[in-house]
Structure 1
Amino acid sequence: IKVGSISFATSLPGVFAAGDAVRGASLVVWAVREGQDAAAEIDRYFKTRTEEVAA
């Protein structure tokens, strides 16, 4: 899965990926770190959204 190098965002709005899904099977510590970084970016994404979400 291709993502932004800092944002972990995919080409689909609101869809993020990190860890083994992006780099393939690798060290678990890298996947954990990328998961933490991706979570921070996901939090930032939803906190700064201005558009309404359909129920």
Structure 2
Amino acid sequence: MDPKGAEETVERWQMTLDALADVVAGRVIKHQEVEAWVKSLVDRADLATRQPE
């Protein structure tokens, strides 16, 4: 994995952990942050399943 990919993976994990901590603590999560997190997961899944052309 390239350094940028590793950095993005760590960032996604941190976003996930932050969101879970907010849920456990009963805090409201900002809708925009949830959308950004979900989009990052979808984008990553799309890249992982994309067939070479």
Normalising by the smaller structure, the TM-score range is: 0.3 to 0.5
Larger Rg: 2
Which protein has greater RCO, CA pairs closer than 8 Å, 6+ apart? 2
- TM-score, normalised via structure 1 length: 0.41
Higher helix fraction: Structure 1 or Structure 2? 2
- TM-score, normalised via structure 2 length: 0.43
